[in-house]
Structure 1
């Protein structure tokens, strides 16, 4: 029996449904894969080996030089403290959040106002999005301006914002009923769609008026739910290198319907209806094109290689030659 366009589409839709069912159930690691690193669970699409993660963006290194072992992401630039599957954005999308440690920015001066230390905090989250509803920018100090410079997703323009924290004597450094409104501590929300951050901290007078009790200023973006009064302590912050920050992740930017419709376009451009595809395999970064035109990109990996199609047609297509190749 000759392969039909409708049969191929039905097979692809069926296979996509299988994948989505597997993804919905896979709140844990894939079978045979490491499901924890230290105290942190590692659900799919994350994993510690090539066969266990969706793609390199979700590859976690379990650094066993620490005790307990520490999970690290994106070339070991991100220390992960929590990973979870969350709500579905649509029937075809899986999303969740992860928590990581992000460096605290600081600048410190001596009694004469000479700069002693300046550390900026930079984060390139790549495919992840910095949560705007869970994180806030915080500045701590008596002569301090906390600043974010970043680029917003989809807008492509620079973003700049900040807040100012001030106090002129040691008495004003006591906890003001947990408030963070500009006296010793300032705090603002971060915008949506941020993929990267550059956090810096500056001083107006190089802390010369407050150096006896506050020689340093601090700035950080952190999970608001983890922000405690201890983070406002100059002494505590002097010993802290990093604080928790929340990122969002998502997979599955194309629906199976879109994939099938695009395949129809591909089939219609092939001269012979019987010369279809040689070993059809859809994978994480599979890009199929014809006549140099982009057809589709699937972010979600389909580990089921659609053998129900390939096995039926592999012999028929083994010696065929496509008129057009991806």
Structure 2
């Protein structure tokens, strides 16, 4: 396979946190150009450092073929909007694979974009992830998502303008994405008979229209010359409005009639003109009143429009008078009939309004009843009656709204790919966690009631208890017990200054493994967790583990018979075998748990998103495999638990993690075996004298590596995992 000689665009918009010069008061600076070519350059942007608010908005104006164009580093800027907080750019982020001969002569280019530590992020509203080609499975990997789709030409139903799987597929862009890189899974590889090229691109959705010629030739690349339009969101500072207002000397919303607006992710802010005003809030007196009366059509219709600051009012022409906001013609008739008519009209309007309100309430009630039936609520009621003693409740939407203060943002405990979790208080001051899910597929709508009954019967000390659900909404909501002490992820990686002993770590690992083993083999119906990670392991006041989100695989899209359009997961925890087969098994949970063991041993995060990091340091599992191969385990262990007395225990845990991370799922231990091994290690920790007695030691620990015998040598294991994690590309 040959790689083209043209170098890929290394797009990195670096932003300095400590500016080379102090910010001066916001305002268009004298002598600074307001345009570059045909593109407006509104403040806080500027041509040159002396014209921009600070370095992060510094642009250059370069003449190309006789036309002046603004550039942000090496990226062309085509439009900037202060009112919307958006910037339109053109960047070479197109990823492609092309085969031009029957030989294995593939040329390729992997596009990527890095906006980390800049005021920009990719607009999820204005862009799409698009895959073009035959038999093509491609992914966009970001800091917390793997998103892609599968395009096929098998049925031959390619149509111009249609991008729904035949020759072209598309996926939504997740929120708050500041980094992505493109990958192709070459298990699904195009052939010359299908089409010469496959493409993966993140671009402005309005700028793309599918054409069947894109599959049959290189016309897609030629149409954009390898560069595509992308829409970015931007913020003025990486701080909230509340923080920014504490220092008014550097506060940037300086125009009268301007407001501060927090970014959707809640971490930054920008400025906007108040309602009824337009212009530039970063300039003194930059927000000007909008004359609504000049709008077409006239907001007052045929009446007289009077502009006011920030608003407008309507008045009547001569011979008319205003009543109930409507201009009516004056009459010479006596006042009493007019009053009587007005009263009658008011009564009639009130009557119609009441009738409409009653009708809307009936529609709402019917809609709730329909949702309740769709989600299997009647079946769930019948099952609950037949099985007495089940501590499970079906909540109303109003009950959960009251419990969470109408799902206030202040009550949010966490957000993920499947939904948002809120803290709530039920009647009697019972503290709960309410999960508001985003989507549910049609198959699970029918089976949801039965699945809830199964989950309600789970009773394990190390699993978060499911207390009930709400079925009268479009996507059901789940109610769990509240666990107060945060997540294992925060305990390991948070900046709290606490020392975590090996005994505490081993206890959390054993309790978590015991809970997963219960789900796999002891529950009334075996349950695959599907999203095992340290942020889904909660801790109570005594640092006892409680596994949460054990219904994730039930509520997620679950058509495992074929590749689904979207593939989501958490980077660093994904089972490579699942990424190849799309079949979720209990051994997928075992692999993810192996990564958690590595987190406990090393205090390192599962994935390093620094594009400059060496390949073997991007994935924690790859780093661990390399260390085991080179007998350098001690170099990656956390210093807080590394000492001579603990090394034998640490080596046993490391060996167990290695078995859990085996590339072949069949060769991994079961969660029950993992839990038993960790229980033995806890006993050794609790009774260190056993280490002095070889017979006792052997009875507790068993023979080394007795759970799984690996037939893959360490060098091959490292090579395979590197390909699976670092690219999902099948083996370049």
Instruction: Using structure 1 for the length normalisation, give the TM-score.
Output: 0.61
* Aligned counterparts of 1:84 and 1:113: Cα–Cα separation in 2: 49
Q: Which is richer in helix?
A: 2
CA drift at 1:166: 0.6
Match of 2:146 among 156, 160, 178: 160
Question: Which deviations, in whole Å up to 9, do the C-alpha atoms of 1:8-40 show, x marking residues without a partner?
Answer: xxxxxxxxxxx6xx66xxxxx544211222221
* Aligned counterparts of 1:258 and 1:238: Cα–Cα separation in 2: 46
Match of 1:133 among 80, 104, 125: 125
SS at match of 1:228: coil
* Aligned counterparts of 2:53 and 2:169: Cα–Cα separation in 1: 40
* Aligned counterparts of 1:193 and 1:48: Cα–Cα separation in 2: 27
Pick closer, same or farther for the CA change 1:112–1:99 going to 2, 3 Å.
same
Q: Is residue 208 of structure 2 the alignment partner of residue 215 of structure 1?
A: no
Q: Is residue 172 of structure 2 the alignment partner of residue 189 of structure 1?
A: yes
* Aligned counterparts of 1:80 and 1:251: Cα–Cα separation in 2: 17
* Aligned counterparts of 2:221 and 2:178: Cα–Cα separation in 1: 28
Matches within 5 A, 1:66-215: 66-73=65-72, 75-76=73-74, 78-87=75-84, 96-103=85-92, 104-112=94-102, 114-125=104-115, 126-151=118-143, 158-168=144-154, 171-175=156-160, 178-208=161-191, 211-212=192-193, 214-215=195-196
SS at match of 1:237: helix
CA drift at 1:80: 1.1
Pick closer, same or farther for the CA change 1:59–1:222 going to 2, 3 Å.
same
Q: Which is richer in strand?
A: 1
CA drift at 1:162: 0.7
Gap runs ≥5 in structure 1: 1-18, 24-28, 88-95, 152-157, 264-280, 285-296, 305-326
Matches within 5 A, 1:15-94: 30-73=29-72, 75-76=73-74, 78-87=75-84
Pick closer, same or farther for the CA change 1:115–1:40 going to 2, 3 Å.
farther
Question: Which deviations, in whole Å up to 9, do the C-alpha atoms of 1:131-158 show, x marking residues without a partner?
Answer: 001101000001212210111xxxxxx3
The answer to whether the 8 Å contact 1:102/1:243 transfers is yes
Tell which deviates more after alignment, 37-46 or 102-111.
102-111
* Aligned counterparts of 1:298 and 1:161: Cα–Cα separation in 2: 27
SS at match of 1:251: coil
* Aligned counterparts of 1:231 and 1:34: Cα–Cα separation in 2: 44
Gap runs ≥5 in structure 2: 1-24, 253-267, 272-281, 285-732
The answer to whether the 8 Å contact 1:35/1:42 transfers is yes
CA drift at 1:232: 6.5
Greater relative contact order structure (CA < 8 Å, 6+ sep): 1
Question: Which deviations, in whole Å up to 9, do the C-alpha atoms of 1:173-230 show, x marking residues without a partner?
Answer: 442xx2211110000101000011212334435323xx14511100111111111234
CA drift at 1:45: 1.1
The answer to whether the 8 Å contact 1:254/1:299 transfers is no
* Aligned counterparts of 2:148 and 2:242: Cα–Cα separation in 1: 44
* Aligned counterparts of 1:201 and 1:193: Cα–Cα separation in 2: 23
* Aligned counterparts of 1:238 and 1:255: Cα–Cα separation in 2: 41
The answer to whether the 8 Å contact 1:107/1:119 transfers is yes
Tell me the residue number matched to 2:699. none
Question: Which deviations, in whole Å up to 9, do the C-alpha atoms of 1:39-63 show, x marking residues without a partner?
Answer: 2111111111222101111111112
The answer to whether the 8 Å contact 1:203/1:217 transfers is no
The answer to whether the 8 Å contact 1:138/1:146 transfers is no
Tell me the residue number matched to 1:12. none
The answer to whether the 8 Å contact 2:43/2:283 transfers is no
Pick closer, same or farther for the CA change 1:193–1:115 going to 2, 3 Å.
farther
Tell me the residue number matched to 2:570. none
Tell me the residue number matched to 1:315. none
Pick closer, same or farther for the CA change 1:131–1:115 going to 2, 3 Å.
farther
SS at match of 1:118: strand
Aligned pair count reads: 229
The answer to whether the 8 Å contact 1:80/1:101 transfers is yes
SS at match of 1:241: coil
SS at match of 2:175: coil
* Aligned counterparts of 1:207 and 1:261: Cα–Cα separation in 2: 58
Q: Is residue 234 of structure 2 the alignment partner of residue 242 of structure 1?
A: no
SS at match of 2:56: helix
Question: Which deviations, in whole Å up to 9, do the C-alpha atoms of 1:98-140 show, x marking residues without a partner?
Answer: 1111321100124436242111111112320100011010000
SS at match of 2:137: strand
The answer to whether the 8 Å contact 1:113/1:206 transfers is no
Pick closer, same or farther for the CA change 1:108–1:30 going to 2, 3 Å.
same
* Aligned counterparts of 1:139 and 1:167: Cα–Cα separation in 2: 12
For the aligned residue pairs, the C-alpha RMSD in angstroms reads 3.3
Tell me the residue number matched to 1:228. 209
SS at match of 1:33: coil
